[in-house]
Amino acid sequence: MSLFNVFNVSGSAMSAESVRLNTTSSNLANANSVSSSANETYKARYPVFAAELNQFVSQQGVSVPVRVAGIVESQKPLLAEFNPDHPMANEQGYIFKPNVNVMEEMANMISASRAYQTNVEVAESSKKMLMRTLQMGQ
């Protein structure tokens, strides 16, 4: 595998983890929102990653960048709470809350941050190796 391919792989991973951080922050920002209808209530969103294997298989080795295949909504049930005094309550007195688990989202945020940081370190180490290789030729 060429040393330059490492930059493609780590760059695509950083981009994917950035999308993961954005969806996690969106989930956390909407965790306490309420609605009077289940259809209007925010649903947790998660990115789906996929490998771009077909384009990058070479004879020397395999370097497989990652891409975001899409963002899907969680299928977990929404939280219905009986609160007839709430201004957003429907005719039956229920309000609907998102299916966002704050603890799970915090764990996702830490995981995405560390994965992003790891890929930054991989790119930095590769850059140092490439610079040392170039200095050997002087």
For 90, how many CA atoms within 13 A lie in the half-sphere containing its CB?
16
Is residue 12 within 8 A of residue 33, CB to CB? The reply is no
Is residue 33 within 8 A of residue 78, CB to CB? The reply is no
For 114, how many CA atoms within 13 A lie in the half-sphere containing its CB?
6
Is residue 90 within 8 A of residue 37, CB to CB? The reply is yes
> In a structure prediction context, what are the per-residue pLDDT tens digits for the chain, which is 138 residues long?
566 788 888 999 999 999 999 999 999 999 999 999 889 999 999 999 988 765 555 545 667 788 899 999 999 999 999 999 999 999 999 999 999 999 999 999 999 999 999 999 999 998 998 888 888 877
pTM: 0.82
Phi, psi of 109 (to 5 degrees): -65, -45
Nearest to 3 by CA among 130, 136, 131, 137: 130
